Amino acid sequence: MSPTDPSGSSRVRSARLALNASVTGVWLATLQWGAFFLLQSYLSSTALVWLVATLVWLAGSAVGLTVSRPRGELPWMLAAAGAYYALREVAAHHLYDLRWFGPLLVPVAVMGGYAGRFFRQRAAHYRRVKSLLLAENSGFVVGTVLVPVMLFLRGEATLTLAPALSGAATLLTSIALPSATTAEARGHAASPLRQVGES
């Protein structure tokens, strides 16, 4: 394959994007399931806690998908990672104290925010957003399977290691992506949702 071969270059670019989307899906799964396991283990194992945390994650995703600033992905990515470990530390120091449920939902929303930001940024790279959703959702399913398996094999250390390792992989595959016009620069602030309907 020649370095100047347009079709070859396009295939490499598509492979990098798909890899990043899949790895990001794994990371988001470890963040989400890790946060939910922490809330269930340290705070309360009621279905209400699970439901409310899920709704807050989705609300954060909506914010990340629609809000234009800060631009770029890195600030959102670092905020999500920091929010996860902040939740872990605070929850561990306030066992079964439901007064902390509200404050602990803030880091859940921040983590969800990166999920929305990811789709906003990546939409600029894809002609059909369904391809992006397929790659990310496939990774999310893999992460959903890995978390309980790792919990069984490694115990509580999984809740520290899994998000760190998958987060590092997400960052590395993001750095390797080809530069492209972002969704914001192209004026497609709401394009991920619109393109799903058009695909």
DSSP string spanning 132-187?
Answer: HHHHHHHHHHHHHHHHHHHHHHHGGGHHHHHHHHHHHHHHHHHHTSPP---TTTTT
Output the pLDDT for position 67.
87
Give the pair of three-digit tokens for residue 156. Answer: 């509580």
Task: Divide the 199 residues of the chain into consecutive groups of 10 and give the mean pLDDT of each group.
Answer: 53 89 97 95 91 96 87 89 97 93 96 94 85 95 95 92 96 76 40 38
Output the pLDDT for position 175.
85
Output the pLDDT for position 7.
61
Output the pLDDT for position 128.
83
Output the pLDDT for position 184.
40
Query: Which domains, ranges and CATH numbers included, belong to the chain?
Result: 14-198 (1.20.1250)
